Amino acid sequence: MKFLVLFAAVLLFAAFQAEAQIYGPYDGYGDYGDYGYYDPYGPYGPPPDYGEPVPQRQPRTERRGTIVIATRKHTLVYTTPQGEQLAYPIAVGRQGKRWYGTTHVTSKRKYPEWRPTASMRQKNPRLPMVVRPGPSNPLGTRAIYLADGLLRIHGTNDPSSIGTNASSGCFRMYREDVEELYEMVRPGTRVIVRR
């Protein structure tokens, strides 16, 4: 028991005698030449040649000559046969009117007629059987028809809808964008529609 009391007294004495070493701030980092000092908490990262490079994840690229539609981003990206990627803002289908998957372009038409489907006319009996080409045509000046025949990539008579979920399933584009895309794509062009 005396040994334990003596041991505790020695430890307590040693603890009171020990002094912590406290270092003040060091301002001499510039003493190392042009390299400078890398502060990991500062606003600048390490020098370009510092350590091993971190591999960056490459964006997924599609086969050349493919249209990819990202509905959440309201974007259509066409990868040309030469590998150039062109991105266009679009309007997509409203909730419950969206389709996802892979299809292809079947045909194209300049100044298309719009024929509302039977279900559209049932919901809105005031819709005409056919809307001829012109400023009131919802398909605009160009239409690119997809494999099922009902879905299209087309222009619009309502440019304010671009960037929204506004259509009955088709993909709307600004007039100048759809006219440019129309000239580039051919029947058979692969179309991928993603969420």
- Residues carrying an active site annotation: 154, 170
The angle subtended at Cα 78 by Cα 57 and Cα 92, nearest 5°, is 100
144 has which bridge partners? 108, 153
**Could you give the C-alpha distances from 31 to 23, 25, 37, 47, 145, in angstroms and in order?**
19, 15, 9, 17, 69
By C-alpha distance, which of 82, 102, 112 is closest to 184? 82
d(CA 62, CA 64): 6
Q: Where are the alpha helices (DSSP H) in the chain?
A: 2-17, 118-123, 175-184
Which amino acid is located at 48 in the chain? P
* Residue in the structure block whose two tokens are 């025949």: 149
